[in-house]
Structure 1
């Protein structure tokens, strides 16, 4: 029987792959959290903000390139809690519906139009009420000694509402919070558990990913004595057992992703968290990582991607970062030099190639698995993998 190319592609997409460990691979979409920074740390700056002027979520043309040409199947899309839940409402189940609709349009484009997967990313560092000097401004959610702080119950409520609204979309993954830091790990666990409880109470079965403390750094997962993330995150209870761990890992001297030089090899620095994941039978995504286009960084990035592929506790990753509002600025690893971003079509300040051209295409792109999951629910166990037709 003679098959057409489309038929062969469709047939291949149904074949399982026994060797697959990375089911989801792509890029973080950063621009939805833009427009609020204040040089004078003035609360309320940029809120609510003008969609399409001060901030945006995705460029559909950029998503098209990433899916159709680069065969990426995962996008982590940032938003701000203060826009979804305005300060006049407070954190909780009441949303700014106009803002939510803009966000849902972005998520629907990724998951329904392009048939890829999307991580919801409240980019708030486990803080709420003042993003003007993120990542340090705002009240820690659940801090009962701060009268301005939102409560743990309110955090559970916002996730219960988000879950209810996306429960019918099996390609949506709930990333509970971006980079919690400088808070008691017991409080972090309480907040995360409230979110999981709210999600499951809503009836949503979607995959959840939960971050650790200390910026959810993989290198520091077992550090910090009694406050170490390793002492707390395994205690999350999900009645559906569909929660994975959300890890970030940069390769520069202080793990910040701010520097041009890469000095911190991932295989060495992720060894302890990898062993911890194995010990507790947990899976993980690394939803932020990156490096510059220097020779040492490109080697370390390649090695890191191989490390994730070769350790089956890792099931997905998103590189930092693309997004329509970066322009010539760099989201990662350039000592503030303007080399552009991972956004397709972006340029450096001198008009030259961007990090998309010098890091994504030559370094990350070859490590995007040829077979990824393109249909079915996102789960900690992955699903059937195949080529993108």
Structure 2
């Protein structure tokens, strides 16, 4: 028994030595705000008033995360319907005013602060009606829906956006937030069209490709009617001539994996075991770009276990916690059945004026897992770049 324990300890130390988290930070959620309609009225909040209905980042909060918390990654959400208004349709023609607002946020993160930025079309692989996201809108590429944008149009959009950022090494292309309720072969087709267009545009940066079923890690290797084949089976067929694509995974810790409940009761390590084995078997890398939990002490262990698991398994190259962003106010991105506890935004307050999730979850739980050395130089990559500590 003593010998077995010794071997196990050596194996764990070796695994930790091999593992590398190159990127760590937060999801910036507010750019997708302002389009909700209780009556599902198409076009509500579009294009919306920047700074009133939606925003991308608060620059002073980004300063805190980079300068004090030493993170190097932000995932910035936006709506396709604002970048490509309904009058234009999805494609290469942009609302330039809206694009400029978005580019300003990206450039502040990458050029001013020297961090990396995931571009996040927060559309659930849908376009034309975000009035009750995540359920409204036509599935991109669904040929049975005459209102749906085509797979080719999705590729055109990504070719245009990537072309505009191809010289910014610190950009990461997150192809789509949480595709769901569609055949996985269509997720693959849309992903492939985007990858092809990005590379044709001359952009060589890291791409993050989602699976089906909300790109949940716990279900990535599973298939069932309406979700066939499995995300793992389909995405093995995704081709990138630059070999610089990682798998985009979300993993929440509550009863239905939605992140909408106060209680944490799902083991991240146990639920990620199958997809991690698949990544290892196929020499693939992944990022977990959404995860989180409430500020109760009961959730702290679940969040810590998930972060430690990523640290211990070299298949994971980075993470962004859900969520910061200037428009959350006292609302809690972690759990809609809770009182309003605030968000991961620095300075966030709960509705009763007590500290928000930045203080209770980020500082108390997540901060300890931000590696001392992260990638601060070089093109975004599955292999990382120059690892260094961020100076004071």
**Structure 2 length-normalised TM:** 0.94
Deviations 1:276-325 (A, max 9, x none): 11111110000000011122210110111000000000000000000000
| 1:235 corresponds to which of 234, 237, 240 | 237
Show the counterpart of 1:274. Answer: 276
Show the counterpart of 1:215. Answer: 214
What is the rounded CA distance, in whole Å, between the counterparts of 1:151 and 1:370 in structure 2? 44
Task: Judge conservation of contact 2:19–2:315 (CA < 8 Å) in 1.
Answer: no
Show the counterpart of 2:93. Answer: 94
Deviations 1:246-267 (A, max 9, x none): 0000000000000111000111
Instruction: Note the residue ranges of structure 1 that are not aligned, 5 or more in a row.
Output: 1-16
How big is the shift at 1:223? 1.4
Instruction: Note the residue ranges of structure 2 that are not aligned, 5 or more in a row.
Output: 1-15
Verify: 1:107 aligned to 2:109, yes or no: no
Give the 5 Å matches for 1:338-349. 338-349=340-351
What is the rounded CA distance, in whole Å, between the counterparts of 1:37 and 1:305 in structure 2? 32
Give the 5 Å matches for 1:25-44. 25-44=24-43
Task: Judge conservation of contact 1:126–1:179 (CA < 8 Å) in 2.
Answer: yes
Aligned residue pairs total 373
What is the rounded CA distance, in whole Å, between the counterparts of 2:329 and 2:348 in structure 1? 6
CA RMSD across the alignment: 1.1
How big is the shift at 1:336? 4.0
Task: Judge conservation of contact 1:253–1:264 (CA < 8 Å) in 2.
Answer: yes
How big is the shift at 1:337? 1.9
Task: Judge conservation of contact 1:257–1:291 (CA < 8 Å) in 2.
Answer: yes
What is the rounded CA distance, in whole Å, between the counterparts of 2:223 and 2:213 in structure 1? 9
Task: Judge conservation of contact 2:18–2:314 (CA < 8 Å) in 1.
Answer: no
Show the counterpart of 1:330. Answer: 332
Verify: 1:81 aligned to 2:80, yes or no: yes
Show the counterpart of 2:289. Answer: 287
What is the rounded CA distance, in whole Å, between the counterparts of 2:292 and 2:168 in structure 1? 29
How big is the shift at 1:228? 1.3
Change (3 A) 1:302 1:19: same
How big is the shift at 1:181? 0.2
How big is the shift at 1:18? 6.6
What is the rounded CA distance, in whole Å, between the counterparts of 1:166 and 1:25 in structure 2? 21
Show the counterpart of 2:383. Answer: 381
Verify: 1:140 aligned to 2:139, yes or no: yes
How big is the shift at 1:19? 4.9
How big is the shift at 1:50? 0.3
Task: Judge conservation of contact 1:292–1:334 (CA < 8 Å) in 2.
Answer: no
SS state at 1:31 partner? coil
| 2:259 corresponds to which of 226, 233, 257 | 257
SS state at 2:119 partner? strand
